[in-house]
A = this chain, B = another copy of it.
Amino acid sequence: MEEIEAQIERFIKEVDEHALKLYTKASKGKRLRAKLIIKIAGESESAYKLAAIVELIHAASLLHDDVIDDALTRRGSDSINALYGDKTAIMLGDILYSKGFMELVSYDREIAEAISAAVTNLSVGEMMDVNLSKSINLNQELYFEMIYKKTAVLIEATARSAAHLSGKDSEAFALYGKNLGLAFQIIDDVLDITMSDEQLGKPSLADFKEGKTTLPYIYLFESLNQQDTSTLNSLYKKELTLDEGQWIRAKMQESGAVLKSIELAQKLGYEALEAIEFDKNSDLERVMRDMIEREF
């Protein structure tokens, strides 16, 4: 990973020293996409560079997301918009996006197309997320389209590109990446409900307050009687009291909405593992199992 971190910094430095200084203040994240590339394509100059490109693009999308969502922290640290204002975050995001694209041009058409199409979807996914957060959304199809575009699509394109780079079955790895992204997002949405503030390292039950009707909420609305439905409606986009939070958590468990969400994430995960079973890749298996077979 050190190779990749160094490559990311070289890329940014080639563009602008000032941008590099700003970038060093941004949260580095888990580098899930970079790891995926190395675990699929193996170690090579070309894999390191592709990993750095994808992480540049991912970082750019987070910079803009944090402005759009008014998020003042990112993984427990101050976000760039909190530190230096929205404008700096927008400009730095534009620099990282465009440098990522610029470097992408040197790869095969298949890879450049997959990644660049994913970025277009990423932007559309963010817009869908904002629009779906304006009122309660009970449409599962829209929820799945949104999390596919916002979260899964770049992981899918990353896995597809890494497989292409190393001459492996790109459809199989694309499915793995897509389902990893979908399962990750569903579980993230579950943890917002089942975890405490301390366990999350940020306020829990934040999604519903921010207007997001995530999958567990969609399932919950489907199972509630009229009175409970109107109670849940009345809590939408509200700062919750402790009792109201407890009520939502209890209903989520009673109704099976949380369990049903976890089971769907697990189903997607096992489907992905089956698709790449031929590769006997214990690293990729562990990434998925660690995510779907954890404590909820």
A residues with a Cβ closer than 8 A to B are 15-16, 18-19, 61, 64, 67-68, 86-87, 90-92, 94-95, 97-99, 101-102, 104-106, 109, 112-113, 116-117, 119-120, 122-124, 126-127, 130-131
Contact = CB atoms under 8 A, between A and B. Distances in A.
Given A90-B67, A90-B90, A130-B91, A116 B105 contact: yes
Contact of A105 (B18, B91, B112, B131): B112
A99 B120 contact: yes
For A86, A91, A97, the residue with the greatest tally of chain B CB atoms inside 10 Å of its CB is A91
A68 B119 CA distance: 22
10 smallest CB-CB distances across A and B, nearest first, come from A94-B123, A102-B116, A98-B120, A98-B119, A95-B123, A105-B112, A101-B101, A91-B127, A68-B87, A16-B124
B86 A18 contact: no
A92 B120 CA distance: 10
Contacts of A19: 124, 127
Given A67-B87, A86-B86, A105-B112, A15 B97 contact: no
For A86, A90, A104, A109, the residue with the greatest tally of chain B CB atoms inside 10 Å of its CB is A90
State the majority secondary structure of interface residues on A: helix
Count of this chain's copies in the oligomeric assembly: 2
Given A105-B105, A105-B113, A113-B102, A123 B91 contact: yes
Contacts of A105: 104-105, 109, 112-113, 116
A247 B108 CA distance: 59
For A18, A98, A124, the residue with the greatest tally of chain B CB atoms inside 10 Å of its CB is A98
Contact of A64 (B94, B99, B106, B122): B94
Contacts of A91: 64, 68, 123, 126-127, 130
Nearest to A94: B123
For A15, A94, A119, the residue with the greatest tally of chain B CB atoms inside 10 Å of its CB is A94
B127 A16 contact: yes
A127 B64 contact: no
Contacts of A120: 15, 95, 98-99, 102
Contacts of A109: 105-106
A263 B296 CA distance: 71
A84 to B, nearest CB: 11
A102 B104 CA distance: 11
Given A64-B90, A67-B87, A123-B94, A117 B102 contact: yes
Contacts of A99: 120
